[in-house]
Amino acid sequence: MKIAVLGHGTVGSGVAEILLDKKSSVSSSAGKEIELGAVLDIKKFDNLSYSDKFVSDFSKILDDPEIEIIAEAMGGIEPAFTYAKSALERGKNFVTSNKELVAEKGAKLLSIARAHNVNFLFEASVGGGIPLIRTLYSSLNAAGISEIAGILNGTTNYILTKMFRFGTDYESALSDAQNLGYAERDPSADVLGWDACRKISILSSLVWGKTLRPDEIPTEGIVNITSDDVSLAESCGFSIKLLARAKQLSDGKIFAKVSPALVKNDSPLSTVNDVFNAVLVRADTTGDVLLYGKGAGKLPTASAVVSDIIECAKTENNIKNLFWEDGAQSSASERDSVSERYFIRTSFDASSIIKDTETIGTNAYITSPITESELSVLKEKISEHGSLLSNIPLFE
Ligand code: HSE
């Protein structure tokens, strides 16, 4: 069975490497010989053992009847969506590490795959090397999942870890993460939280069966986190993590958000450092389940792509329980049904304004549980007297 790889960047080259270096174990897991058939890239790579496989025209792959599985690692919506759609319509399996594609077009592509009895798989799109997607739709499909909270971006976790442990400044930590191949081509997708937002959108859509679009999820990155926040949090037994969260409310709607959060040192999420990711899944039958591993980087991500290739090779038909419907997932407009405590830092003594609070440092407080509307009112009151320097929810 021949495989085509679209894109020969960090992940695509890792996929080609694994297919060649581990050909016999991959083939034996798949139950048939798996062979790298073609690599699509506009650039030329002359010094590789598989340089003869490169093509620059997608139709060569689409029209080759021997290529039955296509693995995409180009990123971005187009041309990835057009390639995926035409491949599935031709009866080819399509696997991808492209979270933007899955978050925006997942329902559409899953439905085309179902109609043509082939598979659209995306294990590598969330959590890199963590076996997450398959665990959610297969092993935990009877668990009754009520909430997911994850550290889903390796770059920002790496940056925050360096700021905490070594007092490294933000810019040099980001540049290290870029050099290590963790960051997106445009790192603003990491530091502004969009990458984590796309990932929680995928997890939420998968777990609760309807599309939750990234633009329905309030998203804030780590760019406003200061060393004062870090040291105050640390002094009271918290770390700061970029958390992507989604929770099913009693009316079936989904409350989701991406933001920095204070995580108590006794939470398993607080020990997730460097490029590691973790997802805490809360379910009424299982209680908390923690999935942990490397969420970014060439080989962890490529290994997840190859696991999807093997899954496609083993599965004759469309996998029925990996599916969600298009149409609004109904992000909770009733955001006020959720109350959280907040870490607040102000430019002045605000103890008389912030009622029922714990003072944790000079002009630094932790509120009692309040809703987002109550937080807005509090912010307004604070701005009448001075500046609000930080407001970060606590994850409990
Ligand atoms: N830029 C992403 C991260 C890559 O840092 O987690 C993996 O999706």
Q: Where are the beta strands (DSSP E) in 97-237?
A: 120-121, 145-151
User: Are residues 263 and 155 located together in one domain of the fold?
Assistant: yes
pLDDT score recorded for residue 230: 87
Residues 83 and 192 in one domain: no
CA dihedral (167, 265, 199, 26) in degrees, to 10, reads 90
pLDDT at residue 369 above 70?
Answer: yes
Please report which confidence band the pLDDT of residue 76 belongs to, taking 50, 70 and 90 as the band edges: very high
Nearest CA among 80, 121, 135 for reference residue 305: 121
**Phi and psi angles of residue 386, each rounded to the nearest 5 degrees, phi first:** 175, -150
Domain at 54, CATH number:
3.40.50.720
> Ligand 1, closest atom to CA 183?
1
52 with 66, same domain?
yes
Which residue, by CA, sits nearest to atom 8 of ligand 1? 296
Q: How many Cα atoms are found within 13 Å in the side-chain-facing hemisphere of 203? A: 34
Q: Tell how far the Cα of 234 is from the centroid of ligand 1, in angstroms.
A: 25
Which residues, in sequence order, are CB contacts of 379 under 8 Å at separation 6+?
388, 391
Is the beta carbon of 221 within 6 A of some atom in ligand 1? no
CB of 122 closer than 6 angstroms to any ligand 1 atom: no
pLDDT above 70 for 331: no
Quickly list H helices, 2-98.
10-21, 23-30, 58-62, 80-89
| Ligand 1 binding pocket includes 17 (Cβ within 6 Å) | no
Residues 6+ apart with CB under 8 A from 291: 127, 130, 131, 132, 135, 278, 279, 281
With respect to residue 142, please indicate whether it lies within any of the assigned structural domains: yes
Tell me, using a 6 A CB cutoff, whether residue 190 lines ligand 1.
Answer: yes
Sort strands 2-6 and 67-72 into parallel, antiparallel or unpaired. parallel
**Residue at 330 is within a domain:** no
pTM for this model (two decimals): 0.95
Pocket lining: 295 vs ligand 1, CB cutoff 6 Å: yes
Tokens found for residue 312: 């496609």
- Residue at 199 is within a domain: yes
Which CATH number goes with the domain that contains 183? 3.30.360.10
Does one domain contain both 183 and 319?
no
pLDDT at 133 over 80: yes
Ligand 1 pocket check for 100: Cβ under 6 Å: no
For residue 243, give both structure tokens: 């958390």
- Hey, which residues are catalytic here? 199
Q: Which two tokens stand for residue 282?
A: 């809360």
Same domain, 290 and 304: no
Ligand 1 centroid to Cα of residue 182, in Å, is 6
pLDDT confidence tier of residue 334, bands split at 50, 70 and 90: low
Q: Give me ligand 1 centre to Cα 214, in Å.
A: 16
pLDDT given for residue 228 in this prediction:
86
Count up the domains in the chain and report the number: 3
- pLDDT tens sequence across 205-251: 999 999 999 999 999 999 999 888 988 999 999 999 999 999 999 88
261 and 164 both lie in a single domain = yes
One domain for residues 139 and 78? no
Q: How far is Cα 82 from Cα 129, in angstroms, rounded to an integer? A: 26
Q: Which of 182, 194, 200 to mutate to test the pocket of ligand 1 (most atoms within 8 A of CB)?
A: 182
Question: Which residue of 11, 133, 155, 160 sits with most ligand 1 atoms within 8 Å of its CB, as the best mutation to test the pocket?
Answer: 155
The mean pLDDT of the chain is 94
- Does 280 lie in the same domain as 141? yes
Is any ligand 1 atom within 6 A of the Cβ of residue 184? yes
Q: Is 307 exposed, middle or buried (0-12, 13-18, 19+ CB in 10 A)?
A: buried
Task: Answer whether residue 181 shows pLDDT above 90.
Answer: no
158: Cβ–Cβ under 8 A, 6 or more apart, which residues?
173, 176, 177, 180, 182, 274, 275
Say yes or no to pLDDT of 255 above 80.
yes
208 within ligand 1 shell (Cβ under 6 A): no
24 C-alpha to ligand 1 centroid (Å): 29
Q: What's the CA-to-centroid distance between 63 and ligand 1, angstroms?
A: 33
Ligand 1 centroid distance, CA of 71 (Å)? 18
The residue segments making up the domain with residue 92 are: 2-131+298-324
